[in-house]
Copies of this chain bind each other. A is one copy, B any other.
Amino acid sequence: MPELRRDPVIGRWVIIAVDRVRRPDEFRKNGAPEGFPKDQPCVFCPGNEHHTPPEIMAIRPEGPWGGSGWKARVVPNKFPALMVEGDLGKRGDGIYDIMNGVGAHEVIIETPRHEVSLTGLSDDEVRDVLWLYKARMLDLRNDHRLVFALVFKNVGERAGASQEHTHSQIIVTPIVPLRVQNELERCKAYFEQRDRCMLCDIAVQELSSGVRVVLETPNFVTFEPFAARFPFETHLMPKRHYSHFEMTEDGLLPELARCLRSALLRIERAVDHPCYNYLIHTSPLNAAPLPHYHWHFEIIPRITRTAGFEWGTGFYINPVPPELAAQYLREVKV
């Protein structure tokens, strides 16, 4: 069972893999090996379903459960960061706080085709992926030990992907992570002062100035954030207030799919197919609808390196103003 440990100085939780330990000699010079293995079959391709743990959910128009014939499927991560069984066992060790690494860690295999980015999918296929994100969150919120779900995606090795075949992941944790907690607290303080959601206000200001907007559609806005950490960092959120991603109506998913795919396509064309991550920030699973927090996608192209200054301060240096990035992305033909 992995351990969750809290750093007492900064309050940050860390997952320490006490079972599946890597030995120092497993770390090759300068880190992970470069290049995905070419000599092994892709475990996410059809016909290799037996290489993944048993399926949790799938979109499968035909064929037997667990076999081929699927359009998208969800399986437990074979090397999970957190384990779904057991209790939290919260305890202390002198000044330190510990709990058991209880949680869920699932993989969403987005297409049977061996695509390397979500942009290789059709808009309809992206809609199905978004529907699976929702479906998994709605299911996992029934587990009362778990309080926060992060949906995320790693594309390319530099973005931390260990499989090339396009996939997303969901990690559900028994605590609200520090970064989300910080956002929730600041948004709550703002709401208490003004009786409005800060992210709703951001949407209004961005749409009114337009300088950082990449795409506006009837229900969503795609924009470069004012204080973007990275070149071409892109956010995407509903114009109307929704605190929880999983509460988004199914009827909005086709439009959201088009916006997400369009944002990724624009970034890939503007910057020559960079490695990227995206993630969804949403309200804790166990919270009632919140008037002060608003779910959003954050897309992070991995084209600059983080160094000592960023690690030490949480302060980023961005060499591309978001206004310029937005202009480039608007001009890309998709």
- Could you list which residues of chain A lie within 8 angstroms of chain B, going by C-beta atoms? 5-18, 20-22, 24, 27-32, 81, 93-96, 148, 150, 152-154, 156-161, 169, 171, 173, 177-180, 182-183, 186-187, 190, 198-199, 201-202, 205, 209, 225-229, 231-232, 270-275, 277-281, 298, 300, 302-322, 324-325, 328
- Please judge, given known A-B contacts A158-B30, A227-B6, A309-B152, whether A11 and B317 are in contact too, CB under 8 Å: no
Cα of A227 to Cα of B95 in the assembled complex, Å:
12
Cα of A18 to Cα of B317 in the assembled complex, Å:
11
Cα of A28 to Cα of B232 in the assembled complex, Å:
14
A227 & B31 in contact (Cβ 8 Å cutoff): no
Cα of A156 to Cα of B317 in the assembled complex, Å:
19
Give the residue of B10, B14, B303, B313 whose beta carbon is less than 8 angstroms from that of A318.
B14
Which residue on B lies nearest to A332, using beta carbons?
B24
Query: A-B pairs with the 9 shortest C-beta distances?
Result: A160-B307, A152-B308, A177-B313, A279-B312, A179-B314, A277-B308, A7-B227, A5-B227, A14-B227
A233 to chain B, nearest CB (A): 10
A-B contact pairs, 17 of them (CB 8 A): A5-B226, A11-B186, A12-B227, A14-B318, A20-B319, A22-B320, A24-B270, A27-B231, A148-B313, A150-B313, A154-B307, A159-B307, A160-B307, A169-B308, A178-B313, A179-B312, A278-B308
